Amino acid sequence: MTSWVRPGRTLAVAAVASASLVVGVGASAAKSKSSSNVHGSITVDALASSGNNLTPLQMEANAFMRRYKGLTVKVEGIPDQNYNAVLRTQLQGGGGPDVYLGSAGTGDNAAILTFAKAHLAADLSSQPWATKIAPNASGYYIGKKLYGLPMDFTPYGYIYNVADFKKWGVKPPTNLSQALKVCAAAKAHGGIGFAIAGAVPANTGVYAMEFAQADVYAKQPNWDTLRRHGKVKFATSKGWAQALNDFVKMNSAGCFEPGASGAGFDQLTQLLGSQQAGAVASPTFSIPTVESAAHLTLNVFGGFGSAGEGGALGNFSNAIAMNPHAKNAPLAEKFLAFLASGEGQHIYAAADGDPSFNQIKKGTIPAKLGISGIAKTLKQQTLAGSISWPPADWPNQAVYAALGTGVQGLMTGQTTVSAVLKSMDAAW
């Protein structure tokens, strides 16, 4: 799986797939017995923790067992790099965990809908909590069948150092022109406007998506739907061409650090944490950790482009699925019900550094997450059903890979905007 988002801690940026992909696949959940017959133990597969930190699912299990004395939830950690292979082998062999961690859609190797299509995930549609799942959580549905319980929501934006922007005399930009002024002001003070992990296609892709949010999706939210029906193409889209040209303008203006094309995530984090760089395009879950380690105050602003302000990006990421051949289905379903409760959702969000969907919708995102700059936008877009991570609606990982590697080529002058867009159409 692609683990660039939270190495060793959680699953990758997941592909939130369209609910219309495939109909009628997957397996039905084993029939539960009455709650009075719930007893024994279950196993849960999750990513192994890093250091001494408890994983979100271990914290959930501990809370569940404190509430329900005599019931046991054993969380088994699997290293990130082996997670998909080990889990799939277990499930295909007819064994495996009762419950397991996955991601949305089909684009990631551990995506729950991929498991559903292989009959390795149970249909959870009949669970009492299923009717409360957010309507735009399409990455867990095939037709009307639900295969995953969403646990957190990952916003994307530009994480910025509040003190740097104040020192440079600039405000969060809402269009490309203002962003270029941020870059100029940073240079004048010996700083860097934006840091980018140019050697990592996943991060160059995030930058491109931030521009596309402003230049494409803010004006035409259904662009991906039109692409699926062959009514538009990347290569002939003026908005997509503008988005990549906006990136080229940022690169040409020296907005990124010297040697950016060879930089990795460690350098990106170091530049932000040492107050050399003012902002980075990234998922926002890392804010509390960076703030604590570097003693900074960070916040977030949304996407921008030549077309103006684009708003926020975001998607459901981690989710919990159930083995259709669970050895203890009644207890597995009871644990899922706990995870779906307000208490369960809060525990996971607090441990994972991302807000829960309910916190976004209600405007109660914890201040410690450091995303107040986009909280209002997130709520508005969520209520309007317009918040998304577009690559999650793409048919495969190759499209986003073509975008990320294409942007790398734009940074070094080895490719053109036209060529990148054509490669994305070819990958589609």
Residues 300-313: pLDDT tens digits? 999 999 999 999 99
pLDDT above 80: residue 393: no
* Among candidate residues 43, 88, 28, 129, the one with its CA nearest the CA of residue 331: 43
Confidence category of residue 12, pLDDT binned at 50, 70, 90: very low
Q: What is the average per-residue pLDDT within 228-246?
A: 97
pLDDT above 70: residue 7: no
Q: Which fold has domain 154-314+375-427?
A: D-Maltodextrin-Binding Protein; domain 2 (3.40.190)
pLDDT given at position 5: 33
Average pLDDT, the chain: 87
pLDDT above 70: residue 28: no
pLDDT above 50: residue 22: no
Kindly give the residue spans of alpha helices, DSSP state H, lying in 152-279: 162-168, 176-188, 201-212, 223-228, 238-252, 265-273
Supply the angle between the helices 329-340 and 342-352 in degrees, to the nearest 10. 70
Q: Do domains 27-152+317-354 and 154-314+375-427 have the same CATH topology?
A: yes
The percentage of the chain sitting over the pLDDT mark of 70, rounded to a whole number, equals: 89
Q: Which residues contact 240 (CB under 8 A, 6 or more apart)?
A: 212, 215, 216, 234, 421
pLDDT given at position 289: 82
One CATH from 3.40.630.40, 3.40.190.150, 3.30.300.130, 3.40.190.10 for 27-152+317-354: 3.40.190.10
Which backbone phi and psi does 309 adopt, to 5 degrees? -80, 140
pLDDT given at position 14: 30
Cβ count near 254 (within 10 Å): 16
For the chain, what are the domain ranges? 27-152+317-354, 154-314+375-427
pTM over 0.85: no
Confidence category of residue 89, pLDDT binned at 50, 70, 90: very high
Q: Which residue has the higher pLDDT, 414 or 133?
A: 414
Q: What is the average per-residue pLDDT within 184-196?
A: 98
